[in-house]
Amino acid sequence: MVTKRIAVLYGGRSDEHSISCISTAGVLGAMDASRFEAVPIGITKSGRWLVGGPDPRGFRMDGDALPVVEPGEGTRDVVLDPSRGRDGFLVRGDDGSLDSLGHIDAVFPVLHGPYGEDGTIQGLLEMMGVPYVGCGVFASAACMDKHFTKLLLAAAGIPVAPGITVDTRELNLHDPATGEGLVARVREACLHYPLFVKPSRAGSSFGVTKVDVEDPAALAAAVRTAAPHDWKVLVEQGVAGREIECAVLAPRSTDEPAASWPGEIVLDRRSADADQFYDFDSKYVDSAASHVEVPAHLPEETLRRVQEVAVRAFRAVDGSGLSRVDTFVSSDGTVTVNEINTMPGFTPISMYPQAWQATGVDYTELISRLLDGVLKG
Ligand SMILES: Nc1ncnc2c1ncn2[C@@H]1O[C@H](COP(=O)(O)OP(=O)(O)O)[C@@H](O)[C@H]1O
Ligand SMILES: [Mg+2]
């Protein structure tokens, strides 16, 4: 069998740079080497594309040092020539000469967050005419921006958390009157406490604050915490319920999207300052603090409803390839969609691969299906 050459993009310009590196370690380790030849390309936090750095298979999420892509000894810059399509991946030598990285059959952008999961890299690859794994430009952009995700889902009749969207460019967040104004807007929208305040375009719980009771100063402070991540900030009513996540897979654009058994992240240990929502550390850094449980301990009927809502949500945003649909399941069985991650965490212990594992598709097979879905011929 002829092996297909797959450019695996990792790192990237978002806050989730290191998570991407860890996801990539897993993907490269599990990719079927008899069928695919991986060509890892790292992207630095400043957006430089590199080959020849440390082997990403060695990246680990332990100790204090998170993995990062950086220029160093042996690295060479990757230069793209969009007009050459799948032969448009070049490397620049020390003398400035350009060599080909060889023919690339498809790209697996294992990138999370802005400039990876938001339609920008997808647009670049569309321009080059190179097939890639995952959602296209529109679905990626729509799901990166929680404000617009909610508009699309609500239009499709899918329950979302009630909330308001605040444009922080119009606010003086250090003026005490601002908090009063925000509280008034919350009242006007009839939102109940607790509230969750979060940037519209971020991820990994960055900038998310829970506001328990009506308090202008606390609300303004929460908006200030979110604002560095995005000028667009959501103030949402807290949804009481368990956080249940469902992996959706549709490798080919013509495929009927398939939903895994829904899973739940179960915290084994809470950090001293733990709140009631998963913080960045317990979700990603401290793998001993939690584990995923698939299927989540819920009645089968509820699990089926989550699957059905997840597939509807995937379709509502025009999803393709894969997505993890995150929901809240309330005690009365209502399924509310919180967000859609179009390139979810992909380490072997992440929810997306674990959910498929528990549904009968192992990690290697999952990667093969995603790649086969976009490879032509
Ligand atoms: N409306 C809400 N109701 C209850 N919990 C919420 C709400 N919004 C966010 N959270 C909590 O905050 C966490 C992070 O928010 P989320 O919207 O998932 O953003 P991120 O993109 O950072 O994962 C969620 O996993 C959940 O625990
Ligand atoms: Mg989330």
pLDDT in the model for residue 170: 86
**236 within ligand 1 shell (Cβ under 6 A):** yes
Band (pLDDT 50/70/90 cuts) for residue 273 is: low
What is the spatial distance between Cα 306 and Cα 329, in angstroms, rounded to a whole number? 8
pLDDT in the model for residue 65: 83
Both tokens of 30, joined, read 């599990």
Distance from the alpha carbon of residue 224 to the mean position of ligand 2, in angstroms:
20
Give nearest CA residue, ligand 1 atom 3: 238
List Cα–Cα distances, 98 to 77, 80, 89, 154, in angstroms. Answer: 10, 10, 10, 49
For ligand 1, what atom is nearest to the CA of residue 163? Answer: 1
Band (pLDDT 50/70/90 cuts) for residue 288 is: low
- Spatial contact of 245 and 263, defined as CB atoms under 8 Å apart: yes
For ligand 1, what atom is nearest to the CA of residue 204? Answer: 22
pLDDT in the model for residue 285: 54
pLDDT in the model for residue 173: 81
pLDDT in the model for residue 274: 55
pLDDT in the model for residue 275: 54
pLDDT in the model for residue 206: 80
Ligand nearest to the CA of 202: 1
Ligand nearest to the CA of 236: 1
Give the strand pairing for 290-293 and 49-51: unpaired
Percent residues over pLDDT 70 in the chain: 93
**279 within ligand 1 shell (Cβ under 6 A):** no
pLDDT in the model for residue 63: 65
Band (pLDDT 50/70/90 cuts) for residue 362 is: very high
Whether 279 has a pLDDT exceeding 60, the answer reads no
Band (pLDDT 50/70/90 cuts) for residue 263 is: very high
Would you say the pTM of this structure is higher than 0.85?
yes
Contacts of 96 (CB under 8 A, 6+ apart): none
Distance from the alpha carbon of residue 206 to the mean position of ligand 2, in angstroms:
10
Q: Which residues of 266-280 are buried (b: 16+ CB within 10 A; e: fewer)?
A: eeeeeeeeeeeebbb
**203 within ligand 1 shell (Cβ under 6 A):** yes
Distance from the alpha carbon of residue 209 to the mean position of ligand 1, in angstroms:
9
Distance from the alpha carbon of residue 236 to the mean position of ligand 1, in angstroms:
9
Distance from the alpha carbon of residue 205 to the mean position of ligand 1, in angstroms:
7
**Would you give the DSSP letter of residue 84?**
G
pLDDT in tens, 176-206: 899 999 999 999 999 999 999 999 997 677 8
In whole angstroms, what separates CA 342 from the centre of its chain?
Answer: 5
Give nearest CA residue, ligand 1 atom 26: 277
Q: What is the mean pLDDT of the chain?
A: 93
Mutating to test ligand 1, I would choose from 196, 264, 331 the residue with most ligand atoms within 8 A of its C-beta, which is 196
Give nearest CA residue, ligand 1 atom 8: 196
Whether 145 has a pLDDT exceeding 70, the answer reads yes
User: For residues 203, 205, 208 and 209, what is the CA-based torsion angle, rounded to 10 degrees?
Assistant: 170
- The mean per-residue pLDDT over the stretch 269-291 comes to 60
**338 within ligand 1 shell (Cβ under 6 A):** yes
pLDDT in tens, 317-327: 999 999 999 99
Whether 272 has a pLDDT exceeding 90, the answer reads no
pLDDT in tens, 18-69: 999 999 999 999 999 999 999 999 999 999 999 999 999 999 877 678 899 9
**207 within ligand 1 shell (Cβ under 6 A):** no
What is the spatial distance between Cα 333 and Cα 302, in angstroms, rounded to a whole number? 6
Give nearest CA residue, ligand 1 atom 5: 238
pLDDT in the model for residue 212: 96
Q: Which domains does the chain have, with CATH numbers?
A: 4-133 (3.40.50.20), 143-159+240-342 (3.30.470.20), 163-237 (3.30.1490.20)
pLDDT in tens, 242-261: 999 999 999 998 899 999 99
Ligand nearest to the CA of 199: 1
Higher pLDDT, 278 or 194: 194
Higher pLDDT, 109 or 275: 109
**210 within ligand 1 shell (Cβ under 6 A):** no
- The mean per-residue pLDDT over the stretch 262-287 comes to 65
Band (pLDDT 50/70/90 cuts) for residue 124 is: very high
**105 within ligand 1 shell (Cβ under 6 A):** no
